[in-house]
Structure 1
Amino acid sequence: MNAAEGRSLEVQGVSVDIAGRRIIEDVALRARSNVVGLVGPNGSGKSTLLRTVYRMLRPSEGQVLADDRDVWTMPARKAAWVIAAVVQDSPADLELTVADCVATGRLPHGRLLATDSAEDRQVVERAMVTAGVAEFADRDVSTLSGGERQRVQLARALAQEPQILVLDEPTNHLDIRHQLQLLALVRDLQVTTLVTLHELNLAASYCDEIVVLEHGRVVASGTPDAVFTPHLLDRVFGVRAETLVNPLTGRMQLVFADS
């Protein structure tokens, strides 16, 4: 994958109502061939917004556009060519081997596991190598740890060859080494990516832009340096913070204390 393959993703005035309650209010964001991090306190609406992007929850108002086309007007298979998602608590396909699980990412392209082509096999192998799960190819998914399963789900998403990647807390269940490896991998793909992250230092280190949600509304957006100010972190997250330069990476690092 390269930067030319990344499509523009635009969320225009999206609002979401669930059970008569407005969860998301007039959210707008835009991304193309970069990594946009969606952050906010618990209950701020991050996962709800992602569900509107990968077509699990239709917005009450507004549009989600991929290259100026509303994803909700696309046929489901066409949308799956464009957008792939790795979500929290996604089905683990415990009865499949890792290779077969990753191969299900080819289904939107019209292939069946029993008749996959040499091209499909190459795509699946490449996705497993990229996600670091090729060594598990013949193992049942049920035998893997939670972090290993998470990387299998990423490999399955990569096997779709999407232009837009949606990741909901992809570093959950991963140890620190695999957190850093996974986010470096995602950044290096140069594919339009929208990712929710709980750990703000990971967002600061690996995202090109940050969108902050609070009570279902966007309260800040921009580069990590512009967004992660002591004032915003105190107001939105309730912590005292200072910013440093990480001596190993040269990127922003946040240090926290209770307010």
Structure 2
Amino acid sequence: MNSEDGAPLRVEGVSVDIAGRRIIDGISLSAQSNIVGVVGPNGSGKSTLLRAIYRMLRPAEGHVFADGRDVWTSSAREVARVTAAVVQDNPADLELTVADCVATGRLPHGRLFAAGRSGDAGIVESAMRATSVADLANRQISTLSGGERQRVQLARALAQEPRILVLDEPTNHLDIRHQLQLLTLVRELTVTTLVTLHDLNLAAAYCDEVVMLERGRVVASGTPCEVFTPEHLRRVFGVHAASLINPLTGRLQLAFADEDDRQPTDRITR
């Protein structure tokens, strides 16, 4: 089955059940912009949705199309040539060096970096430089900090040369400088990226489009300005919010307050 939509990534009516409980329910989205963010409270189904997209959890209903092909009727290798995923933890990599770990990104193309195929070495080196891990090439993954491991996983994903990049909380474990650097890097890639983020200000600043989930369903989608409204944020996250402009970047920034902390001021506009 092929999708007729021209978007690199399309999700149509996907539902996922875990242990007899419906975690996501009839989600549809189309990712064609550079970065599409998925946000929502804990338990809203963000990571579950991504697992259905990168073939970790089979949907009970619906279809996921990557580059026009249903990922669940294609082989894992075929999907990996199109879609690369960066998940939050991958303990199986701990005994590899950074260079060897990044080189495994070439496996979907039917070869290991060690096989010496012309061009692979350059792809691996470029991916490590792009993610600022080239100087760690000979280090064991087990000796790295959480933030360094996260950047290595992104380098491996880039070594796959995917058309679609799926990132599950990629800024976890990163300090603020590396959070900004990583998302700036992702913005510069010519890859359609679907990313889950807890930090709504990062989503507001770096995502071209945002999909907001609540209890496994889409409650809002569109540009950050369209999605991050006071009404949506109060309903889904239970907070009061105001939209501001970051004076350093000119991008959307959100201010939050709990009901007990909120103080009216004419300097904050909604």
TM-score, normalising length: structure 1: 0.95
Q: Highest relative contact order (Cα 8 Å, sep 6+), 1 or 2? A: 1
Q: Distance in 1 between matches of 2:242 and 2:183?
A: 23
1:90 aligns with 90
2:202 aligns with 202
The answer (yes or no) to whether the contact 1:7–1:163 under 8 Å persists in 2 is: no
Larger proportion of helix: 1
Name the amino acid aligned to 1:144.
Answer: L
Q: Distance in 2 between matches of 1:33 and 1:220?
A: 16
Quick check: 141-150 or 173-182, which moved more?
A: 141-150
Q: Distance in 1 between matches of 2:190 and 2:238?
A: 33
Q: CA RMSD, aligned part only?
A: 1.2
2:145 aligns with 145
Structure 2: runs of 5 or more not aligned: 1-5, 260-270
Point out 4+ residue stretches in structure 1 off by more than 4 angstroms. Answer: none
Q: Distance in 1 between matches of 2:41 and 2:108?
A: 34
- Structure 1 segment 82-231 matched on structure 2, within 5 A: 82-91=82-91, 93-231=93-231
Quick check: 60-69 or 194-203, which moved more?
A: 60-69
1:238 aligns with 238
Name the amino acid aligned to 1:245.
Answer: I
Report the number of matched residues: 254
Q: Identity, % of aligned pairs?
A: 74
Structure 1: runs of 5 or more not aligned: 1-5
Distance 1:92 1:172, change over 3 A: farther
Query: How far has the Cα of 1:18 moved from its partner?
Result: 1.1
Tell me the SS of whatever aligns to 2:72.
helix
Q: Distance in 2 between matches of 1:40 and 1:29?
A: 15
Deviations 1:164-214 (A, max 9, x none): 000000000000000000001011103111000000000000000000000
TM-score, normalising length: structure 2: 0.92
2:73 aligns with 73
Name the amino acid aligned to 1:43.
Answer: G
Larger Rg: 2
Tell me the SS of whatever aligns to 2:81.
helix
Tell me the SS of whatever aligns to 1:249.
coil
Name the amino acid aligned to 2:136.
Answer: F
Deviations 1:124-183 (A, max 9, x none): 000001111011111111111110000000000000000000000000000000000000
Q: Distance in 2 between matches of 1:190 and 1:24?
A: 29
Q: Distance in 1 between matches of 2:112 and 2:103?
A: 9
Quick check: 219-228 or 113-122, which moved more?
A: 113-122
